[in-house]
Amino acid sequence: MSGTSELKIYNSLTSRKELFKPLQKNNVGIYVCGPTVYNKVHLGNCRTFISFDLIVRYLRHLGYNVRYVRNITDVGHLEDDSDDGEDRIAKKARLENIEPMEVVKKYSDDFHKTLRKFKVLPPNIEPTATGHIIEQIELIKKLIDSGFAYEVNGSVYFDIKKYCESYEYGILSNRKLEELLKNTRDLSGQSEKKEPFDFALWKKASKNHIMKWNSPWGQGFPGWHIECTAMSLKYLGNQFDIHGGGIDLKFPHHECEIAQGTALNSVPPVKTWMHTNMLTLNGKKMAKSTGNNILPEELFSGTNKNISEAFSPVVTRFFMMQAHYRNQLDISQDALNASKKGYQRLIKGYKFIDNLSSNYIGKSIFDVNEAISKFYYAMNDDFNTPVLIKELFEALKRIKGLSINKDFINKDDLKKLQNTFRVFLFDILGFEVVEDKNDTDEYLNKTVSLLIELRENARKNNDFKKADEIRENLLSIGIILKDNKNGTRFELK
């Protein structure tokens, strides 16, 4: 099915493309860090989830039985990367004067609604951090029992020096312990830790902290990293195939997940680490915290100050697919306009192929299998969508050129090609055929204006029969011409 090549995936852990072999034949377990639901997701977040949607869609297309787990972080994400500061969700609840769980519901709903617009398929399991407090406490207890964690004043920290006696810390982000020691500032409030680079597994809650739970160490709340370890290991096993997220999560989040999982089970938790690169705006990372971001709804309605034209979800998805997921991508009005044109050309080409028919049973001039194997080759090369799109256009160009010969393709080959186009465009890339309303309006305006002009000319030449004919024919299809002293305008019935 996948042509002649086999799937290779770039593993951030080894910095190499590796032949993909699932741990269990035909079954693939994949975990992707989901959003922290204290705000609306921006287009940068969407890029990461759209990339993993493509990856999961392709794995399923290859015949794998995929269990896709993507969590919702609804607690524990602190204001800064140190272990102190206010929980972002609690802060939002305070600002909006609502319950933290109302914040969570509001922004989880918004997240789901947005991803549906982008044709992102839901994961198989979408666990929440607050729904897995017991599991997190269990893991922390186990880490304390095996000596990899210690308790101080109602908080629990992961002991990195202890971990380094048996394992290596920093293998994902290539950081050395000495370097970490040099770079870790001794922020106030961290002094209870043995070492500044130790990270929190559990934090003691102050009196006025809202989101807190009972634990063996008193009332508190979990650290950020332990939630993903608890949920991924619970649903995918102690070792699973793929763990993904944006490249900004490599350190410290994913590095800490590796340490936690390895300390717990003596095996690294993940075989292949996949990281998507950032969507940028004006060359800078799109981020909630800096305000350098675009919300999807602003893009769809053309109300963002950076991009004033409206672009549909599918054009935005196409724009993202034109870049490889590991490359940075800068969003701009010009780039989106180019993508809009490209997408229209692609869909036009697809419709052209889809409408072709053939009764020919001889040999095709067009080598369908060669074209198809190029599509697979691109996708098997670490999900290379820009190359895939280039190959799709290449095939369209050739078919257009050859189709002037009547018998250029036999009927079986044509069917195969039509089917493959459908599968790649809609099942794998997640595109759809939508009539762009703005464009339709524009074309309608232009066409009716042209007819009004022709009617005007006919009247000037005293050809009233022609003028009436134009008016009546337009009326018969629901377009009413209204004459007034300033000229003629039209209305739809």
Q: How far is the CB of 71 from ligand AMP (least distance, A)?
A: 10
Which listed residue (100, 127, 246, 349) binds ligand AMP by CB under 6 A?
246
Stretch that binds ligand AMP, among 3-11, 59-67, 277-285, 394-402 (CB under 6 A): 277-285
Which is nearer to ligand AMP, 287 or 423 (by Cβ)? 287
Size of the chain, expressed as the number of residues it contains: 493
Which of ligand AMP, Zn ion, none does residue 130 bind to, with CB < 5 to 8 Å depending on kind?
none
Rounded CA separation 187/197 (Å) = 11
Which is nearer to Zn ion, 155 or 232 (by Cβ)? 232
Which listed residue (100, 245, 269, 430) binds ligand AMP by CB under 6 A?
245
Q: How far is the CB of 169 from ligand AMP (least distance, A)?
A: 21
Q: Which residue has the tokens 């060669």?
A: 370
Q: How far is the CB of 290 from Zn ion (least distance, A)?
A: 21
Assigned token pair, 157: 């920290």
Rounded CA separation 403/356 (Å) = 9
Assigned token pair, 126: 């979408």
Q: Is 286 in the site for ligand AMP (CB under 6 A)?
A: yes
Stretch that binds ligand AMP, among 190-198, 283-291, 330-338, 415-423 (CB under 6 A): 283-291
Provide the pairing of β-strand 329-331 with 479-484.
Answer: unpaired
Rounded CA separation 275/352 (Å) = 37
For 350, half-sphere exposure in the C-beta direction (CA atoms, 13 angstrom radius) is 20
Q: Which residues pair with 279 in a beta bridge?
A: 329
Please say whether the beta carbons of 359 and 411 come within 8 A: yes
Assigned token pair, 238: 């102690």
Q: How far is the CB of 287 from ligand AMP (least distance, A)?
A: 6
Q: How far is the CB of 222 from Zn ion (least distance, A)?
A: 12
Q: Which residue has the tokens 């000319």?
A: 457
Stretch that binds ligand AMP, among 187-195, 220-228, 271-279, 463-471 (CB under 6 A): 271-279
Q: Which helix (H) or strand (E) holds 480?
A: strand 479-484
30, 66, 166, 427 from 27: Cα distances, Å: 10, 6, 31, 20
| Binding positions for ligand AMP, 292-311, rule CB under 6 A | none
Which is nearer to ligand AMP, 278 or 395 (by Cβ)? 278
Which is nearer to ligand AMP, 278 or 396 (by Cβ)? 278
Which is nearer to ligand AMP, 37 or 201 (by Cβ)? 37
Cis amide leading into 252 (omega within 30): yes
Stretch that binds ligand AMP, among 125-133, 245-253, 305-313, 358-366 (CB under 6 A): 245-253
Q: Is 103 in the site for ligand AMP (CB under 6 A)?
A: no
Rounded CA separation 387/320 (Å) = 13
| Binding positions for ligand AMP, 43-102, rule CB under 6 A | 44-45, 47-48
Rounded CA separation 181/318 (Å) = 43
E-strand stretches of 279-434: 279-281, 284-285, 329-331
Which is nearer to ligand AMP, 44 or 76 (by Cβ)? 44
Q: How far is the CB of 276 from ligand AMP (least distance, A)?
A: 6
Q: Is the dihedral of CA 223, 224, 227, 233 positive or negative?
A: negative
Which listed residue (18, 86, 248, 456) binds ligand AMP by CB under 6 A?
248
Q: Is 430 in the site for ligand AMP (CB under 6 A)?
A: no
Stretch that binds ligand AMP, among 140-148, 228-236, 275-283, 302-310 (CB under 6 A): 275-283
Which of ligand AMP, Zn ion, none does residue 228 bind to, with CB < 5 to 8 Å depending on kind?
Zn ion
Which is nearer to ligand AMP, 47 or 203 (by Cβ)? 47
Residues near 177 by beta carbon (within 8 Å), at least 6 away in sequence: 160, 161, 164, 169, 170, 197
Rounded CA separation 267/229 (Å) = 13
Q: How far is the CB of 17 from Zn ion (least distance, A)?
A: 24
For 130, half-sphere exposure in the C-beta direction (CA atoms, 13 angstrom radius) is 13
Q: Report how many residues bind ligand AMP under the rule CB under 6 A.
A: 17
Which residues bind to ligand AMP, rule: CB under 6 A? 33, 35-36, 44-45, 47-48, 245-246, 248-249, 276, 278-279, 285-287
